Amino acid sequence: MIKQRIISIYGKSKTNFYSKFFLTFGMILLILFIILHFTSLSKTLEIRSQTETILAFSIILIGIGAILYFFYYQFAKLTRIAEEIENKDELDN
């Protein structure tokens, strides 16, 4: 007898948590960049390079968060499709 594997998005997958974490942290860094850029602190060259670094990290983190959210969304769709197939098989028996 073939063992059925039930894959659930709510189980071991932490992609939703990580996507929210990276998106939130990236947005916080983006807000920090905007605040530092428009204040008088960004006038010096040393602080300006630090704000550009903050912008780079925020773009990277927002990108990673968006990719992870896409993976989460696709896993959720696959889980629904698998549940529909299982329900259809159970109804056929």
CB atoms near residue 19 (< 10 Å): 20
- Report pLDDT for 78: 86
- Report pLDDT for 1: 45
Per DSSP, the residues of 54-70 read HHHHHHHHHHHHHHHHH
CA 66 to centroid of chain Cα atoms: 5
pLDDT class for 81, splitting at 50, 70, 90? confident
Pairwise pLDDT comparison (20 vs 42), residue with the higher score: 20
**pLDDT of 33-60, one tens digit each?**
888 888 865 566 667 778 888 899 999 9
Pairwise pLDDT comparison (91 vs 24), residue with the higher score: 24
Q: Are 65 and 20 in contact (CB under 8 A)?
A: yes
